[in-house]
Amino acid sequence: MIKVRTVEERYGPALKKAREDLQRTDPYKMAFCSDASYRQTTDTSGVFEVPYWGKPCLVSYPDGEVQDADTGEPVPIVTQILVLHYLLHADGTPMANQWVAFRELPGGLGYDSAFQGRADQRLVREFGHDLDGFIRAAEALGGERIAYGDAGFLFRVFPRLWMAVVLYVADEEFGASARVLFDGAADHYLPTEDLAVLGGILAGGLIKKARGK
């Protein structure tokens, strides 16, 4: 009988490593490069405030505990890892202000087929014939309208890591298509495998909003 691993078993080692890496990194450098805020609370500790999907997360330093700033509760383990990785990976590179597809990211081409299934194809199945539903879902998720496709929306995931979704609905000539895009400097703020995770989170969030969840 195959034992299904828990979320903690699957992601615990990555969270442990991220916390260890955080302890070895200058907090002021991380704050500067990521555009997060950092406040020193004692001689050896402090707290970051990192906006994630428009909501603040608090990250204690040096132990790396990640909490929802509004509730004080720990955020889900995947969110903890993404927030910590953002602080650790950010190098201060200016945002590119141009969109790139996942396959254009470092190492993205080899994983593009899986990414399509995780993000773009899910969006086509859900919204390929429902432009109004897509617009409502994107607005409910905090998206900002951009002039691409039949409808396009920008999402400020982290201060210096933005994503977009562009939808073309099906018509008599062409089938529907959807594309999750990243700012061209995204790989300076998260590893490509984390950006793939964000693509799935964005697609899943839009679908949940469309279904009233």
Q: For the chain, list the strands marked E by DSSP.
A: 37-40, 46-52, 55-61, 66-68, 99-101, 144-146, 151-158, 161-168, 177-183
Q: How do the pLDDT tens digits run along the chain, 213 residues long?
A: 566 678 788 889 999 999 999 999 999 999 999 999 999 999 999 999 999 999 999 999 999 999 999 999 999 999 999 999 999 999 999 999 999 999 999 999 999 999 999 999 999 999 999 999 999 999 999 999 999 999 999 999 999 999 999 999 998 889 999 999 999 999 999 999 999 999 999 999 999 999 997
Asked whether the beta carbons of 145 and 192 are under 8 A apart, the reply is no
Question: Residues with Cβ < 8 Å from 127, sequence gap 6 or more?
Answer: 133, 134, 137, 167, 169, 176, 178, 206, 210
CA count, 13 A, side-chain hemisphere, 134: 28
Structural domains for the chain: 7-89 (no CATH), 99-210 (3.30.310)
Looking at this protein, which amino acid is placed at residue 80?
Q
Rounded to whole angstroms, the Cα distance separating 196 from 38 reads 28
